[in-house]
Structure 1
Amino acid sequence: MYTDAEAAALYDLVEAWNPDGHPADAHYHRLVMAAGDVLDVGCGTGGMLHRARADGHTGRLAGLDPDPAVLARARRRTDVEWVETTAAGAVWDAEFDLAVMASHAFQYLITDEDLRASLAAIRAALRPGGRFAFETRHPSARAWEAWNPGNASDIVDGGGRALRTWFEVDLVEDGVVSYTGTIADRDGTVLRVDRETLRFLGEDALDAFLAEAGFVVETRCGDWDGGPVTAVSREIVTVARRG
């Protein structure tokens, strides 16, 4: 079997944080470097905050994630705060200028109750006027249609092991997509299976939740170049301000 620690290391390798090469990472890096104190919600292996500190960020940096395996890798850097909790479990009170949820982490907030509780906790963690930046896949782009074994990826992990990874969609219902991710040896021997669920919200529903939580949308884009959201946009990129 492929362990949690090995899977976290593989993610760190394949999805390495790279604001020099990836427009999405560059977007968040600019926001983080311009802010004073920053909270990364769903920080994963910590790449965003690692890079910010390495590039000279002098403010407070804190990351939270409920997954102990990814936090173990994040904690390789000790000049950042790391907290094992969910978004809804955050207990800070007006301590940050910016909160971010990158890499589509926002879509893991599935139920209305979890979404409301998470937005309330994020808002509470921000100082008055603080900003919350995140992105979610536009439901009209139907990204899940490309998540199938025909789009498997061949990769090599940090130990030199040749692997094949793929996704299979199990259920699409009411804007919620459940899918299975598989890691296997190149000969097809399955090493690990993970089941995950994501929520796809359109602009109207998204803005209703934000307004209810006390956020005002400051900017909204449909891509990483700053273009408007259209019927063919693949992303809904939002920066909202604590009202």
Structure 2
Amino acid sequence: MSRNPYESPEAARTYDEENAGRQDFDFYLELARELSPDGPGLSVLDIGAGTGALGVELAAAGHGVTGVDPALAMLDIARHRPGGEQVTWIHGYADAAPEGAADLAIMTGHVAQYFLTDDSWRELLAHVHRALRPGGRLAFESRNPGARAWERWIPEFTRGTYPHPAGGTFTSWIEMLDVQGDPAAGIIETHRGVTERAGTKSYSAPETLAFRPLATLETSLEQAGFDLERRFGDWSRGAVTAQSPEHILVSRRL
């Protein structure tokens, strides 16, 4: 699995500022509404819950939420954010989730791309399958390698200035370190974040992501005991194309 740069308390503190206004939140909130037509009340497992922003929104909508994350610095923010007491937070990975308890498992923030090897990806899907009730859904997104997003992960396109939680501002950007493979078979990409505040520059731990082709994702879900129900190419639920930015998949546990 890729090293998690958000184990750093400073990176965790600034995560929400750098990732404000995420379209994926609306998608997953709407999906939860669709899956509970008689009113809220799903049992939702949020894998890679991060700072808990989405988990708290799902809980506020009336769902029972369990958030799992391996980074204590992120979970500390989740536990102390307004509404955080409505969510059950677990420090760990998907294997720490209760068995057969969830109606819906979600992996947001491109968590699926942190599992770099086929074995680690299969192991994750097996843990999610165990955590879901029969008929429960798994929903996640993974960037489409055909869209070649990593080519835009350079300072020219990623530099931004944001308010810092402690006051003042900070500027951050991404530096590309390595790209291996090809879009047709899959890409392994490594980058790092750079932050500048008050004249001091700091670097995050290198972050490595796997870009899996759609066919690979679909086959792995089938082999893990899931039936793929829906696929989308963007957060507005557009069709999957060769250049669509995302592979957003909703599957049912058999």
Q: What is the TM-score of this pair, normalised by structure 1? A: 0.90
Other-structure match for 2:195: 183
Structure 1: distance between partners of 2:56 and 2:90: 15
Please tell me the root mean square deviation across aligned C-alpha atoms, in Å.
1.8
Secondary structure of the structure 2 residue equivalent to 1:63:
strand
Please show how residues 84-99 of structure 1 align to structure 2 within 5 Å.
Answer: 84-87=91-94, 89-99=95-105
Moved over 4 A (4+): none
Deviation readout 1:54-89 (Å, 9 max, x if unpaired) = 23x1x42100010000000111212211111123x3
Is 1:205 aligned to residue 216 of structure 2? yes
Q: Give the letter aligned to residue 25 of structure 2.
A: D
Matched-pair identity in %: 37
Structure 1: distance between partners of 2:202 and 2:72: 20
Other-structure match for 2:165: 158
Select the residue among 71, 74, 80 that pairs with 2:78. 74
Deviation readout 1:89-141 (Å, 9 max, x if unpaired) = 33421111000001211111111111011000001100000000001110000
Other-structure match for 1:48: 54
Q: Give the letter aligned to residue 179 of structure 2.
A: V
Q: Give the letter aligned to residue 231 of structure 2.
A: R
Secondary structure of the structure 1 residue equivalent to 2:100:
coil
Structure 1: distance between partners of 2:8 and 2:223: 37
**Structure 2 residue runs without a partner (length 5+):** 1-6, 37-41, 182-186
Structure 2: distance between partners of 1:9 and 1:32: 28
Q: How many residue pairs align between the two structures?
A: 234
**Structure 1 residue runs without a partner (length 5+):** none
Select the residue among 9, 16, 28 that pairs with 1:12. 16
Shift of 1:186: 6.0
Structure 2: distance between partners of 1:91 and 1:29: 21
Is 1:23 aligned to residue 23 of structure 2? yes
Structure 2: distance between partners of 1:91 and 1:230: 34
Structure 2: distance between partners of 1:182 and 1:232: 28
Q: Give the letter aligned to residue 85 of structure 2.
A: T
Q: Give the letter aligned to residue 30 of structure 2.
A: R
Secondary structure of the structure 2 residue equivalent to 1:75:
helix
Structure 2: distance between partners of 1:172 and 1:6: 27
Shift of 1:194: 2.4
Q: Give the letter aligned to residue 213 of structure 1.
A: A
Query: Which stretch shows the higher mean deviation, 212-221 or 143-152?
Result: 143-152
Secondary structure of the structure 1 residue equivalent to 2:86:
coil
Q: What is the TM-score of this pair, normalised by structure 2? A: 0.86
